[in-house]
Structure 1
Amino acid sequence: MIDVADQKPDRLVSVREVFGIDSGLMAPAFTERDEHVPEIDAAYRFNPDVTLAILAGFTRDRRVMVQGLHGTGKSTHIEQVAARLNWPCVRVNLDGHISRLDLVGKDAVVLRDGQQVTEFQPGIVPWALQRPVALVFDEYDAGRPDVMFVIQRVLERDGKFTLMDQNKVLSPHPYFRLFATANTVGLGNLNGLYHGAQRLNHAQIDRWNIVASLNYLPRDEEIAIVQARVPALADVAGTTLVQSMVAVADMTRKGFAAGDLSTLMSPRTVITWAENIEIFRDPALAFRLSFVNKCDEAERPVVAEYFQRCFDRELEAPYLITSPR
């Protein structure tokens, strides 16, 4: 069995052949898969620019942050690149419950030869740092300040990490890779859409070598993804239905950009809507349960109008809920 310190990619793959992108880039990959390699999603559609940015992270050890609105598939994009390279990938969500000790490690009581002893248990950062692993920090702009300063040291060019309690300085594995996803690129909750997003200091953002922006897919590609997820809608009638669904989603996004709505439909929501149509056999009912009921009551008539325009039918009650007097 190969020692983890000696593990490294053992082949090169063509980006043109594997990802369908017009590029002569060859990316390092592993022949063998392990338990940390994500499963391949054959229906996933790659954004060429973002894919090349992520591949630069894998091939040239660039620190890559992927920014975009919710539901655009930022984390999944990184995972699917890793899956096709057979590269181990671990995601950490930087929610308010993640502490410095979770990242660095802490002393824990363990059983050794029948005796209880206190032993240092490394956190996810030192564990990943010493392996050929792609570590992904999700919701990077939601991390607590003490957590962010732990990460900041790993972002340095040499990437060495000091374990103060252990008097150790860890050097990163040659094929350790670091990625992050964020909604706001450290600008905070400017439009009220992402509560909990923090403003990050410029020193944090400046340490990321590449910042890629991932937007929603073109309409035809979004339709193809929905049909791949829900094959029952892949026939002629289903295509017409999904076209109308994606048109509604597109209108909510434009309405959000214009300030008419405070929420929007992500591709994830459209897929959920399609899956619920399979259950309820009624696009209007599935739409109310998948999206309308998440909207502010004052905005529901606007959403109902979008539905009427795209489906040429009214969105039946109870899309509008009136408060008791």
Structure 2
Amino acid sequence: MIPDEKASVKSEGRREVTDIVSGKPDRMVSVRSVFGIDSDLTVPAFSERDDHVPEIDEAYRFNPEVTLAILAGFTRDRRVMVQGLHGTGKSTHIEQVAARLSWPCVRVNLDGHISRLDLVGRDAIVVRDDLQVTEFQMGIVPWALQRPVALIFDEYDAGRPDVMFVIQRILERDGKFTLLDQNRVIQPHPYFRMFATTNTIGLGNLNGLYHGTQVLNHAQMDRWNVVATLNYLPREEEIGIVLARVPELAGDSDRALIESMLSVAELTRKGFAAGDLSTLMSPRTVISWAENCQIFRDPAMAFRLTFLNKCDEAERPAVAEYFQRCFGRELDVERESRAAQY
């Protein structure tokens, strides 16, 4: 479903949704001052915000290389794909760049239920002057293509083949889109931008971690101008994100707790890389663990409910050993196994 074009925005400093069709960036901002990256680059931005501009998350930490890749997409109309493991904040990274540029942004998750008709459009029965008539309802792709909008395809490597070939045409430089039902060719807006996020690099589910992903057509992968990889953040930056999300743990007395939690997460990531585990703790999981610590007031119980119960039963002793190594206390895995049997 496309966003409502008739919706109005009453908040001061925001444009009407319909105004963005003819809009364009009207100022240049410094990458150094806005994103904290040591660069003299300036990038286009909007002065006013509309309903499609994401909210700014002040706690978000930008990866310099990935940020510059995304900014290349906004500035030079590059098609940018951000690849990385789950929980690294790929989609959020693009959204937060757009938020600081006040650039309208729409996300589409290419799950198995998204069809070609959802992207292109379809005939629908509507009531006009008390009569039922059939009219064409435009899909999200032609809608966004005609506007200064950043269109993000989430889980791009999980898209169905018929859906992917709809996208392939607009990946090219001119990116014109043909609506066969309307005998119409849509010229892309000069400030339409396109991004994608993937867990794999189009080679399918090689390690068994991301079921449902597809092997992507190499001709389509070749059309993406920039492919950036977003890995997990350095330890200190990840600690900063956890503390920003759970400020109750920002005291000096809780610093050791956060350090131990990150140590467990790093061990699960090393175990996954070595083939000892089939899952790992992402930054999102660490934040959930910290939040659950505030609820249950017990790091061990919060750990069991946040991560341990997601693990294969055969792997839980190894995960419990990671916890014991970092926290200096045993994790009762046997109790969890007995509880699962009843």
Determine if the TM-score, normalized by the shorter chain, exceeds 0.5. yes
Matches within 5 A, 1:247-286: 247-286=263-302
In structure 2, what residue type is equivalent to 1:212?
A
1:89 is aligned to: 105
Instruction: Find the residue that maps to 2:337 and give its secondary structure.
Output: coil
Quick check: 1:300–1:320 contact (8 Å CA) kept in 2? no
Shift in Å at residue 6 of structure 1? 2.2
Matches within 5 A, 1:1-325: 3-318=19-334, 320-321=336-337
Deviations 1:280-320 (A, max 9, x none): 00000000000000000000000000000110111124565
Structure 1 range deviating more: 112-121 or 80-89 = 112-121
Shift in Å at residue 112 of structure 1? 1.3
Which structure 1 segments of 5+ residues have no match? none
Q: Taking structure 1 as the reference length, what is the TM-score of the superposition?
A: 0.98
Q: Give the Cα separation in 1 of the matches to 2:112 and 2:251.
A: 44
Structure 1 residues 190 and 67, CA, compared in 2 at 3 Å: closer, same or farther? same
Quick check: 1:300–1:319 contact (8 Å CA) kept in 2? no
Q: Give the Cα separation in 1 of the matches to 2:22 and 2:59.
A: 34
Instruction: Find the residue that maps to 1:314 and give its secondary structure.
Output: coil
Deviations 1:215-270 (A, max 9, x none): 00000010110010000000012111011001100000000000000000000000
Structure 1 range deviating more: 264-273 or 231-240 = 231-240
In structure 1, what residue type is equivalent to 2:61?
R
Alignment size in residue pairs: 324
Quick check: 1:135–1:177 contact (8 Å CA) kept in 2? yes
Quick check: 1:293–1:319 contact (8 Å CA) kept in 2? no
In structure 1, what residue type is equivalent to 2:86?
H
Instruction: Find the residue that maps to 2:258 and give its secondary structure.
Output: helix
Deviations 1:137-180 (A, max 9, x none): 00000000000000000101100000000000001000000000
Instruction: Find the residue that maps to 1:204 and give its secondary structure.
Output: helix
Instruction: Find the residue that maps to 1:36 and give its secondary structure.
Output: coil
Superposition RMSD on alpha carbons, in Å? 1.2
In structure 2, what residue type is equivalent to 1:69?
L
In structure 2, what residue type is equivalent to 1:261?
L
Which structure 2 segments of 5+ residues have no match? 1-15
Shift in Å at residue 92 of structure 1? 0.3
In structure 2, what residue type is equivalent to 1:234?
A
Deviations 1:38-87 (A, max 9, x none): 00000000000000000000000000000000000000000000000000
Quick check: 2:50–2:104 contact (8 Å CA) kept in 1? yes
Q: Give the Cα separation in 1 of the matches to 2:196 and 2:334.
A: 41
Instruction: Find the residue that maps to 2:81 and give its secondary structure.
Output: strand
In structure 1, what residue type is equivalent to 2:239?
I
Quick check: 2:317–2:333 contact (8 Å CA) kept in 1? no
2:9 is aligned to: none
Structure 1 residues 233 and 161, CA, compared in 2 at 3 Å: closer, same or farther? same
In structure 2, what residue type is equivalent to 1:207?
R
Q: Percent identity?
A: 79
In structure 1, what residue type is equivalent to 2:225?
N
Instruction: Find the residue that maps to 1:255 and give its secondary structure.
Output: helix
